[in-house]
Each structure stands twice: as C-alpha cells, then as structure tokens.
Amino acid sequence: MNNSFQALMNRKNEIMKKSVGIDYDKYEYDGIGFDYEYMMNDQGYDLETVKQIQLENMVGNTPLVELKNITKYARKYAKKGYGARIFLKDEAANISGSFKARRAALAVNKAKALGYKGVIAATSGNYGAAVAALAAKAGLKCIIVQETFDSRNVSQPEIAEKARKCEAFGAEVIQLSVGPELFYTFLRLLEDTGYFNASLYSPYGIMGIETLGHEIAHEVKQLTGKYPEAVIVTNAGGGNLTGTARGLKSAGALNTKIIAASVNLYGLHMASDVDFNKKSFTTGHTGFGIPFATLPDRSDVPRSAARPLRYMDQYVMVNQGSVFFMTQALALLEGMERGPAGNTSLAAAFSLAQEMKEDEIIVVQETEYTGAGKHLLPQISFAKKNGIKILFGNPLDEVPGKNIIFPKDGSYLKHSEIHMDDLRKTYLKKFKNINLTQKDFDFLSEELNITKEKIINLLG
C-alpha cells in the first residue's frame, strides 16, 4: 500500500470512518450541511446510560464548590451590589484528574462493545491520560500520539508531565515534533493497528460531557433554588463547551448564558516550530479555540460533534499572567491547587463576576489535576529560558511570545472580548461564492444560532 503523505491523506476519510465505527455518510444533506441531531441521537446512548457507564468507571458526580473567598476578593473591586457568587465544579476528582475522563469513559466503552483490541488518541495530554486510564480498566491496549518537540528537540514541561501520566497508565506514547507529521502518524497507526479512534470530536466525545452540564444545572438549583446565570467554559476544540451546553439545556437551564474563555495567544501560530515553545499553555488558548470554532470539521473525524458556535453566547480572553495569578489565588485563598486549563475560565470568571449582581451565580465548569510540569513555577521558568520577559503591570498589555504580565493586584485582572459576529463571518467565508439553498440556510442558522437574514448580512 502506498503510504506517502498524499496517498494517506487521500484515504483519510475511509480510515477515520472505519476506526470510529460510524457511517457519517448517512447524516449528510444535499448541499453543505448534515443532520447534527440525528448523528448525536443515533449512537445508542441516552443520558442515563452514559451516567451509569461513568459511575462504573469512577467518573462524574464531582464536587461543586462555592469559592467564597475568591468571590469576596472579586467583590473588593466591584461596585456596590455587584460581584456574583463564583462556584467551581471540581473535575480533578475524576479517575484521571480532569473532565476528559467523561469523554474517555464513553469512547472506551464503545471501543470495547465494538470489539476493538485497542484505542488511539492524538492529544497533548489530559485526554490521553483519561483514555489510558479507562483503557487500562477495560483491558484494552492504548496508544497516545503527542505533539511534543520543536526542531531543537525541546519539549514543554506541561507536555512532558502529561506524557508521564499517560505512560503511568500503561499507554504507549509516541512523541513527535510540531507539524503535519502528527496527523500523518495518527492515520498510519489507525490503519496499521485497526484500533479504535478515541476522538475528542466523535459523538461519544461530546455525549460524555453532557453529564457535566446536567450535574451543574441540578446541583446549583438544589443548592440555590435556581439555575446559574452563567457557566464559563475553557474553550479549545469546542467539545467541552458543546457537551456542557447540551447537558445544561437538557436539564432545563435554558436561559443560562454559555461563556467561552481562552488564553490570548494572538500572533503565535500553533503549527510554527519557532512559536511552539513561546507559549505557556498547551490548550485552552485562541490558537485552538478560534480555528475550531470557525472550522469545526478540521478535526480527526469527517464531521465533528463539537460545534461551539451553536451554543456560545459570549467569548472572552484572558492573558497568560492572569491565569497564573488566579492559579495561585485559588491555592492561597481556597486551598485548592489545580492545573492551568480550568484556571483560564476561573480568571475570566473573576473579572466577569464583577459585572454581575451579588445574587447572581457564575459557575466555572471544570478543574484539572496539577503537579510537576503543569505547575505554574516550571512553566514560568521555561518561559524565561525561551526569552519571555516576566513582568508585573496591566495584563491587557501582554504581547504573546514576548512577555507574560502578571496583574499588579486583582483590580488589574480584566478580560477582553472576541466579537461573536467576527467568528461567524470567518465561518461563513468559505460559502461566499456558493449559491446557498434554503436547506443550506437552515443548517447555517442552526450552526451559528442566528437568522437567515443575519447570515445574508454577514456574507456581505
């Protein structure tokens, strides 16, 4: 068989379909769209079944914690009567230390049910650790493919830590340099081994997170008598936000605002060898969050089940220094030492809460484990070694790849906005020269959560 790069890319849809056990063709419309809900509902799982699978695998039912001290700290900088109550869903309590275990539990269950001998995932780490842990419980082989090095053979401390955790659960970790070799190697392994593609972007990868949104809705209502006004989600590939939003809505929290938060890494190209080690965050940043929002089907399955623009009400950014600041604040004020990704949404929540009334509730939707390379100190040390200046001042002045600016104090920690219509315009660019049918407009209205008239306006 011809295994040249181009030949393998020509077989990619065939390989991906075979490796995930889904016939994506059956969901396609004539034209540009596909039946998203049919795809999601056609996989043989309902919410109660997913909950039971997760329960049997030490996943889910994680603590919901009110961050009273951080709320008090936010109110210090808010005007009178403002400063929403901040709650945190502590997903570090899951079997592998992050919410990704919810996704992995379902993917591994499906792989086992379909008779696959092993599972493969391409991931920077947290999901890899989750897949490895759940595969170990299920008695399946596991391979994790990880983008690790730049051309100097230098890897980030966070990525190295995640690889260690994957290997601790018995996974084989294949580490590659930044570039197109990741997807090529991933496809080769799927084809050569016949293993299951434990994709983050399959319906299984999204349905597993619906339980998280469902739990948040019920637990907040039980504690406070109402659903939260806002839930804030660290956004990268979009699956975290999609699954959480779907779970909230299925529980009845129809008016809860869904807010995405990413670390601002504008100006750094994620596929650039030069830029690879100039960032201090391997996920939860704009380098993933924006491309996957505006082109969701760039994933490792023919149709991604992560469709964040269907559910996103607001998109905000915080800088790297602010996330490190809140990581330390969480430890010092609440006694909770947690990893970097969830603290992205916590930093945004700290700022957003000051714009909300005291009787309103904002929920930070997840945490993750920390330790070794995921801790803020090795990350800061690594940044210094790569020529990044560490400063104190106004975080909004931070230039990714040049410096990391810590807030002088909590009053300086502010978020910035990504305009939703800018994202929608980028999504629509590829359809500018296409004669769209009514069916196409119906699909785009669902995809972008706007009317046909607004789509026509954005297309210009």
Per-residue pLDDT reduced to its tens digit, 23-62? 999 999 999 999 999 999 999 999 999 999 999 999 999 9
Check whether residue 272 and residue 376 sit in a common domain: yes
In a shared domain, residues 408 and 455? no
Domain-located, residue 70: yes
267-285 in b/e form (b: 16+ CB < 10 A) is ebebeeeebbbbbbbbbbb
Evaluate whether residue 32 is within a structural domain.
no
* Cβ burial 130-140 (10 Å sphere, 16+ → b, else e): bbbbbbbeeeb
What pLDDT does residue 186 have? 94
One domain for residues 236 and 327: yes
Mean pLDDT of 215-241: 98
Percent of all residues in the chain with a pLDDT value above 90, rounded to a whole number:
93
Shared-domain flag, residues 350 and 436: no
Q: What is the average pLDDT value for the chain, to the nearest integer?
A: 96
* pLDDT tens string 122-138: 987 799 999 999 999 99
Q: Which of 122, 110, 92, 126 is nearest to 43 (CA)?
A: 110
Which band of pLDDT confidence, cut at 50, 70 and 90, is reported for residue 72?
very high
The mean pLDDT value for 167-189 works out to: 93
Does a structural domain hold residue 311?
yes
Cβ–Cβ < 8 Å for 405, 319:
yes
Alpha helices in 11-151 (DSSP H): 12-20, 36-41, 47-56, 68-75, 100-113, 126-138
Cα angle 155-345-79, degrees, rounded to a multiple of 5: 140
Residues 374 and 247 in one domain: yes
If one counts the domains in the chain, the total is 2
Same domain, 441 and 313: no
Determine the Cα–Cα distance for residues 203 and 362; give it in Å rounded to an integer: 27
Domain of 453 in residue numbering reads as 429-459
Buried b (16+ CB within 10 A) or exposed e, 286-308: bbbbbbbbbebeebbbbbbbbbb
Quickly state the pLDDT bin for 271 (edges 50, 70, 90).
confident
Closest CA to 291 of 112, 418, 165: 418
Give residue 125's pLDDT: 78
Looking at the structure, tell me whether residues 237 and 277 fall in a common domain.
Answer: yes
* 346-404 pLDDT tens trace: 999 999 999 999 999 999 999 999 988 899 999 999 999 999 999 999 999 999 999 99
Question: Cα 255 to chain center, whole Å?
Answer: 22
Give the lowest-confidence range in 65-74, 152-161, 246-255, 318-327.
Answer: 152-161
Q: DSSP letter at 256?
A: -
Contact 275, 281 (CB under 8 A): no
310 and 455, same domain (yes or no)? no
> Is the per-residue pLDDT at 292 higher than 80?
yes
Do 402 and 445 belong together in one domain? no
Residues 331 and 453 in one domain: no
Q: Tell me if 338 is assigned to some domain.
A: yes
Q: Are residues 236 and 312 in the same domain?
A: yes
Share of the chain above pLDDT 70, in %: 100
Residues 198-225, mean pLDDT to the nearest whole number: 97
| Token duo for residue 198 | 């434990």
| Residue 407 neighbours by CB distance under 10 Å | 23
| pLDDT band at residue 227 using 50, 70 and 90 as cut-offs | very high
What per-residue confidence (pLDDT) applies to 19? 94
**Do 362 and 442 belong to one domain?**
no
* Structural domain includes residue 187: no
Does residue 66 belong to any structural domain of this protein?
yes
**361-364 vs 389-393, strand pairing mode:** unpaired
Residue 379 sits in a domain of what CATH number?
A: 3.40.50.1100
Position 265 pLDDT exceeds 80? yes
In a domain, 185, yes or no: no
Measuring CA to CA, which residue among 366, 359, 370 is closest to residue 344? Answer: 366
The distance of Cα 435 from the centroid of its chain, to the nearest Å, equals 33
Establish if 1 belongs to a structural domain: no
